[in-house]
Structure 1
């Protein structure tokens, strides 16, 4: 490109890595030096330090502009702002059309060169001009209608990258139409692309997760988005593993290497042999279930294999990537596109109800977009979860969520009934992760779990099956069932079964001992327990055996600075206890004490005062003035009065409480010190 060698740092968003490699390759072919993170930096390097060093060493920064590049959360912001601050040379190359609003104010005045919409010859010329500056032609320009010349041949060393998006679909291609409603998942796709590019031989990547998480949709989007980087892309429905050779035979026929009389297995093995010597291919094995049956049919060679599966256990076969639900921002973007006119608050509430599950969001958009209000949908979702989750057109997904859960549960129950029992037990706990240690401790007392209570491998074996069928997320300490899967399972349970499962849930929650709720060391354990005690579907406030635990949970919430959930918990608990025990019962008065405290912590002193005054008056009447509980209510009431600028009244109460506590407990007791303070 030029006779003067320069050193360039390439700044890009992760999704634009193909462009970065294409630009870097051609700059090096022109005898320039290139600093590109995926070529020059190693795992474990300090990213910030390496970036700072690269910016100092570079003669110029080649910035690949795209909408992703200007995302507020990307490191590219630090790169280009550092270059601007140092007044270094920036060479902007636009990879897609950008409006004025898409470009930050600091970069708006800088001229950029467009690479988008060009064939490779024209893009290479644009890159050359951006690096070297424009020159006047020495011969007549080529007629614009002439067919582009053939691109450069491959050079020795690093394989020349394709111009991203320039070649369309490969000649060998059987992937179905792209989903026009696909949204989000940019980080996942970037990570997937980088993983597939990480090796010289066949890289096998397995996307795994629960049903409805969008595994197939991500694989489909990847195949379309990067189709120009492959010469062959072949999609195989791998749910029936015995049919995989048949699908390979179809590929053999497309490649012209099939032997009609040989049968599917020999033709499939001919394809596998062919792929060992061929570059730039992608094979997608969609909905694979049994790794052992898939392993013999995995291609080898300089290409890529992408597996989607509910099963999480692909160790030794593929690099696994566990998929989670949408981020909330992805959910809001998706709903904003599919349900125009929805406010941010409405979309956020619906996404919360649906647990950000992509399939559920797609179904909801289908129903709301065809004659139902969003508020009505949320109402039905609360009371008729399984029924409403049977509805809604969700293109790209094989079945609605209720059917997906039902099919997987039926298959699980046919083969592993003990795992189904564990699944139903988990459905009646909260949607947050469930510590496996809870199950291990409570196992001898659980009535709904079949088998030997002393089985040393329970619940490990059952959890493995839940993970294989995509009905739960498993790690080494917890498992988690999506809130909508839980709701469908609860709706499908008959009443007698529900009663027994709820008894077991109570047993589990009652046997947990997180420690002192006022000690920060115990707060992680209390946070886990409280998330289940306060879940909408658990309904534990009316269980007398759990009331002491609920009160301690309220103390944890207050001490850890969470007054709002403490108020919600205590309001429900106080109402239930008052109806059953009467307003003067010690449990009711303890609830009132904590409720007044939490309400005061919210800053709502007008509401807190009557709650605390009532508890104080009842305790004085029942327990007398010197009882520790009465003195605590007096302390709390004085604190509220002081917060309401009633300092004289508060001082008198504090002095009286201090005198009583000194006399009863001594000067060094924590309660005395509280009053002295």
Structure 2
């Protein structure tokens, strides 16, 4: 018997035995296919589910490898297979084999017609399939999203079962379980209502009233809303000692039955959004099928993201579900008029659809809403409330009886509707690259796309998955068939959203975004505009506070309001992002609405905060490196340096792209001292993470800034570090040119310390060209200079360098003596990275002295220290050499493991030459090992034991 379990730890069982599924990513592939068992999952969607939006370089072949391995562990006798289909893969499994699908099937039956006892038994069986948190053991944005959806499905099923048990008179036995559920979901009004009913059934009316009072106070304090009508009705019945079971609705209104058909035409050439359509169906299915209440979904997202497009497409695909009619209201929450539709006008419009005579419409709004609820009770209706401004505009339009479905679209996320009325939120993002390409192809035709493939790709990149932007581009191309796509792409790339202006506000992206901008208050609009000039792809709340000059709490509140307005999004790391087109619009607003002095001051504050935090973090990563004196004053507010080494490394990981962008912004503004100091602060992080090209580019910018400053000391550091960056990139001629200029500058100012470092770098240049004797000469010179400056860290590194090149010259005894002296100095001064480098050198010496077991020990110690300081670049080279030492000992299995890990790091760091060598070593394991050959080639040898930042 085969079982694929996803409702708990992801695993595969055959006849009760757990099958090894391999690494987490491979298990993620199985889960991604199993959740859609019987349906084709495209390769792009599979890669997104496994790796998220940013694929590794070899994602596709790696995915195929995972699928191949899974096919080998799936038992053929169980009629299960992963089949290749046009566009993707399909998992075929026996009925009931996938627990999630079994869960959903049992839930569907349990919510259908039948005796309550039988329905309760089906839902109980469904809940017993859960063995913990769904999809345990796999990570990533897709897994987190699916976990949230499944968690919601589980809660809904638990509530459905509770409703049935309450109806069967078992309320008293449910009190304890509902108390725990209320504690877990304190603002869920459905759970709260069930808890009140169970307390009432148990004769604990006072406790029920106390809980209602506490819940109401919390809803008002946290969400600014009262409990919804269903919960208020339960409260009234308990308060007046009425029966606690909810009364059945009166379905007789005495009015003629009208079946309104108000939906606009379905959108033509709708493409993609498969996952969003499935999610919408899933969230609207449960309550509608069970007949327990109104199913409400809120589609939120930025203007032009395709909310109405999706809502209408879904509605027309499911017309058969709503035999009693479909209503559509444009609430005009955001539009050229700038005034949302009055609530009374919207209610009266819906009453008109049911044929209510004007004389029969009550005067008071609450009475009109009550009449609307009476008219919709017991009907299977779809109500599409498009372009809503806020919850207050929507709430009076909601039907009261079960069977109705409400689809709301809004640029706001409407948390009040979610919390107060049980609506399901669905935030829309941009469409995928594949969907965008399919949409453009459907509009323009495959021939036009094939004729200018590069221009088409540039257009897709400019539109960034925005459906409105893609539609505008396609419309312009169709309206001007002689206009090359390349010209259209160039215009859009240069002008941003303004380049999509066709003169019609409804199809002008800038105008559409302006409607959201106009709805902001003054503080929100200022925050939005300033975010447009913030360097980098995202921003933390602390950085946004600094940018705006606000305390952190008000700044975070403004960010939340922009998130609710779908102008920014927040990721799971609590960082805020803007879509590129929205950012371009924000930048344009900043240029128009904010004076340059305010923009410059805001950017100066933010760049200053980043510089000071980076400098503090650098000091934690490499305390032995002599600090520089920053010219920017320390920020008055918001400066909170990292607390330790791990926190500093994590901060750099989060802020790296923003720091690089901040350096470019500082250079553009002419803040030259800040420009080269940012490069200095990034250097250690770049070296430890192997970000070689980033290091080269930041020092190129820094060198130009230092030249403009005409500061000899800054120039010497910039030229030397640019030369060092060239060494890492194996550009010896360019490195030599920069280092000679750096040495001349240091000699001019009699800076022995800078001269010593430059000689160390000159040694490295000679080393990568194979001239080890001249390399050692520079290293010895550096050693003497460091001794004279009293710098133990530099002296230790110079000792290691002299030892390293002695080893390369075959003088192993001298090499060992110098490297041991380097190790002792580094240990004495608590320099863990220096220790690691010296230990690696001693490993190399031992390896080439035929002491292979000693080499293994040295390399292992070095590996631990490189990992401790987060130096993944040098970790890769050490794994490589450790594999060579194991191979020399004929321990091929351990050698294979280390070389595979080294290969993975080389690939992640885009080190093609090193990766090719590692693959060659892995393929050579079948033959006899070369007991004298280290893993590093002559050119690459210095990459671990000689390239060190100071």
Report which of the two has the higher share of helix: 2
* Structure 2 counterparts to residues 440-455 of structure 1, below 5 A: 440-441=545-546, 446=549
Shift of 1:288: 0.9
Change (3 A) 1:535 1:656: closer
Change (3 A) 1:63 1:182: closer
Once residues 48 and 326 of structure 1 are traced to their aligned partners in structure 2, the CA distance between those partners, rounded to angstroms, is 31
**What's the counterpart of residue 554 of structure 2?**
458
TM-score normalised over the length of structure 1: 0.69
1:175 partnered with 2:301: no
Shift of 1:552: 1.4
SS in 2 for 1:516: helix
Change (3 A) 1:505 1:671: same
SS in 2 for 1:299: coil
* Structure 2 counterparts to residues 378-393 of structure 1, below 5 A: 378-391=489-502
1:531 partnered with 2:657: yes
Once residues 598 and 36 of structure 2 are traced to their aligned partners in structure 1, the CA distance between those partners, rounded to angstroms, is 62
**What's the counterpart of residue 136 of structure 1?**
none
- Whether the 8 Å contact between 1:360 and 1:401 is mirrored in structure 2 is yes
Change (3 A) 1:643 1:218: farther
**Aligned residue among 664, 674, 697 for 1:546:** 674
Once residues 384 and 269 of structure 1 are traced to their aligned partners in structure 2, the CA distance between those partners, rounded to angstroms, is 51
- Whether the 8 Å contact between 2:40 and 2:89 is mirrored in structure 1 is no
Q: Which has the higher contact order (CA 8 A, sep 6+)?
A: 1
**What's the counterpart of residue 189 of structure 1?**
277
**What's the counterpart of residue 755 of structure 2?**
630
- Whether the 8 Å contact between 2:390 and 2:412 is mirrored in structure 1 is yes
How many residues are matched?
Answer: 557
1:238 partnered with 2:331: yes
- After superposition, the C-alpha distances for 1:312-350 in whole angstroms (9 at most, x for unaligned) are 241413332333333444444444544522777655544
Shift of 1:291: 0.9
SS in 2 for 1:45: coil
**Aligned residue among 574, 588, 593 for 1:491:** 588
Once residues 388 and 492 of structure 2 are traced to their aligned partners in structure 1, the CA distance between those partners, rounded to angstroms, is 31
1:298 partnered with 2:423: no
SS in 2 for 1:384: helix
Once residues 105 and 66 of structure 1 are traced to their aligned partners in structure 2, the CA distance between those partners, rounded to angstroms, is 6
Once residues 661 and 418 of structure 1 are traced to their aligned partners in structure 2, the CA distance between those partners, rounded to angstroms, is 55
Change (3 A) 1:604 1:51: farther
Does 269-278 or 47-56 show the bigger shift?
47-56
Change (3 A) 1:45 1:235: farther
**What's the counterpart of residue 32 of structure 1?**
none
Shift of 1:660: 3.8
* Structure 2 counterparts to residues 36-435 of structure 1, below 5 A: 45-48=8-11, 65-68=38-41, 72-73=46-47, 81=71, 85-89=75-79, 101=86, 173-199=261-287, 200=290, 201-231=293-323, 232-239=325-332, 242=341, 258-263=356-361, 269-279=370-380, 281-300=381-400, 301-315=402-416, 316-317=419-420, 318-338=423-443, 340-341=449-450, 346-368=455-477, 370=480, 371-391=482-502, 398-412=506-520, 416-430=521-535, 432-435=537-540
Once residues 641 and 575 of structure 1 are traced to their aligned partners in structure 2, the CA distance between those partners, rounded to angstroms, is 26
Mind listing any 5+ residue stretches in structure 1 that lack a counterpart? 1-6, 10-34, 93-97, 111-152, 160-169, 447-452
**What's the counterpart of residue 612 of structure 1?**
739
Once residues 54 and 171 of structure 1 are traced to their aligned partners in structure 2, the CA distance between those partners, rounded to angstroms, is 56
TM-score normalised over the length of structure 2: 0.51
Once residues 508 and 663 of structure 2 are traced to their aligned partners in structure 1, the CA distance between those partners, rounded to angstroms, is 23
**What's the counterpart of residue 606 of structure 2?**
508
Once residues 346 and 52 of structure 1 are traced to their aligned partners in structure 2, the CA distance between those partners, rounded to angstroms, is 55
Mind listing any 5+ residue stretches in structure 2 that lack a counterpart? 20-33, 51-65, 94-111, 121-257, 334-339, 622-644, 804-944, 946-950
Change (3 A) 1:91 1:497: closer
Once residues 64 and 359 of structure 1 are traced to their aligned partners in structure 2, the CA distance between those partners, rounded to angstroms, is 33
Does 198-207 or 520-529 show the bigger shift?
520-529
- After superposition, the C-alpha distances for 1:8-41 in whole angstroms (9 at most, x for unaligned) are x9xxxxxxxxxxxxxxxxxxxxxxxxx9x9xxx8
Shift of 1:238: 2.4
1:647 partnered with 2:795: no
Change (3 A) 1:260 1:480: same
Change (3 A) 1:252 1:84: farther
Shift of 1:402: 1.0
SS in 2 for 1:341: helix
- Whether the 8 Å contact between 2:695 and 2:725 is mirrored in structure 1 is yes
SS in 1 for 2:328: strand
**What's the counterpart of residue 624 of structure 2?**
none
- Whether the 8 Å contact between 1:51 and 1:79 is mirrored in structure 2 is no
1:591 partnered with 2:725: no
- Whether the 8 Å contact between 1:238 and 1:285 is mirrored in structure 2 is yes
Change (3 A) 1:543 1:69: closer
